[in-house]
Structure 1
């Protein structure tokens, strides 16, 4: 392993299982991914905080049963100052030192309000006001820009607000165009933003699932990639083999261009992340 590879920040994201069977599967996945020596495992929060308790349980299990850091997601939507503070205090009591602070998504059909805090920069400010420098705070970044952004400039300005509020580093939405990431980094540098911005990596395992995710979150699937995957859609193994090739090439280019690490959206599976990491020599 080269010195550059040793300095990379590798992390993996899980969603909290809803069943005991799912939890057992996640334990197996986590144990396999520990071979990557990740800086942390993050755990999603669910739209509108819908998995609040499951997120908390999953985070504590990771923290207690492994030697690796757990990083819970925390979102604004549907949250109050009171329940956010209670979560922060509970996480502190259990030795959790990293938070992924997000605005969050509204659940489908939800007509409620955001809560006491409307935006991620306000959430970061609140965490800092209540806990000082205790937490390492990760925030989201959007190389292809947030789907609800009014302009590229506005989106970059919002990102800078999160950094100025006290974010330590950022994880990007997944993407399949390396140039989008590099141009985003250049734009951040021009604005004086110098925190690490780690690219989010979504392994390609299922064509229909990927298009559904991407259409929902605004991640662009390049036309050439979408059509190649469509041709292979009926052959699951072919989609997955092609997907590993594509993602390995993307990661190689990102790391060669100076990306400080990789954050894998694992979908609670280990094999695809491990194969990509193996090919990268991680």
Structure 2
């Protein structure tokens, strides 16, 4: 079976200890030679400057292709594009364009009076600026979508606006992704759709996150993690579950996988090694 290419998502640090954790994460995963890595925005765009700094530093220190996340939240069009141009000055040409979560305390997304109304408008503007734009998509129905067909239609709008690739929200059943991929193809979407995988570092947090973003949790998986957590075997189950999911997807023709690391690199590293991705240098060495 072919070995897939991989990409990793990191969080920008909000404290000194978090900074150490981020650099340890990048140092651990860089030897696996990812195609690219990304740095997220906090909810409501709260880590905008931290994201910019982390993107620049990771690209320079580790010689990795880095994508900055960019959202429509709480900023005018010009302010948002200035962030994108700041990425470019740091040598970054890749952006993951998202609508973004509303600021803390707000029930739903409200566009800035002078900002982008939605992710489609953001994608179009970034594509016009010449960036390589990736977008998100939802194999399980987005909590705000009218139905599953609406998710497909919205993804097509983003691809038509200039996005070159889509990354899925995490999911737990490979059939969820495969059905979504088939429906996207039937709708005329020919851009790559990369499955997003979350190695489960903390079951309680992961299950709450899944419920918030609409990712369905199979009953047998929930039961298995509850037992494994009680028996202090959760990490073993997490690696086995994510590796099995990834292996199934590769067997179904997925040649790219995107990992949500949560800045906890050990599980992602172990899953990648289980898939046959050998580190290019010693794992303790900075690239």
Q: TM-score range by the shorter chain?
A: over 0.9
Does 246-255 or 101-110 show the bigger shift? 101-110
The count of corresponding residues between Structure 1 and Structure 2 is 274
What residue is the counterpart of 2:110 in the other structure?
113
* Structure 1, unaligned runs of 5 or more: none
User: Aligned match of 1:265 in 260, 264, 270?
Assistant: 260
What residue is the counterpart of 1:254 in the other structure?
249
Q: Indicate the structure whose relative CO is greater, using CA pairs within 8 Å and at least 6 residues apart.
A: 2
Structure 1 residue 144 corresponds to structure 2 residue 143: no
Provide the C-alpha distance between the structure 1 equivalents of 2:193 and 2:73, rounded to a whole number of angstroms: 24
- TM-score of the superposition, structure 2-length normalised? 0.92
Give 3-state SS (helix, strand or coil) of 1:150's partner: coil
The superposition leaves residues 251-270 of structure 1 with CA deviations (integer Å, 9 ceiling, x where unpaired) of 00001101131111001011
User: Aligned match of 1:73 in 36, 60, 69?
Assistant: 69
Does 180-189 or 109-118 show the bigger shift? 109-118
Correspondence list, 1:1-282, <5 A? 4-5=2-3, 8-110=4-106, 113-115=110-112, 116-129=115-128, 131=129, 134-235=130-231, 237-282=232-277
Give 3-state SS (helix, strand or coil) of 2:242's partner: helix
Provide the C-alpha distance between the structure 1 equivalents of 2:161 and 2:75, rounded to a whole number of angstroms: 19
Give 3-state SS (helix, strand or coil) of 2:6's partner: strand
Q: CA deviation at 1:25?
A: 2.0
**1:197·1:260 contact (CA, 8 Å) conserved in 2?**
no
From the superposition, tell whether residues 227 and 47 of structure 1 become closer, same or farther in structure 2 (CA, over 3 Å).
same
Provide the C-alpha distance between the structure 2 equivalents of 1:79 and 1:255, rounded to a whole number of angstroms: 39
The runs of at least 4 aligned residues of structure 1 exceeding 6 Å deviation read: none
Q: CA deviation at 1:205?
A: 1.8
Give 3-state SS (helix, strand or coil) of 1:157's partner: helix
Q: CA deviation at 1:110?
A: 2.3
Give 3-state SS (helix, strand or coil) of 1:233's partner: helix
Does 192-201 or 85-94 show the bigger shift? 85-94
What residue is the counterpart of 2:283 in the other structure?
none
Q: CA deviation at 1:227?
A: 1.4
**1:33·1:270 contact (CA, 8 Å) conserved in 2?**
yes
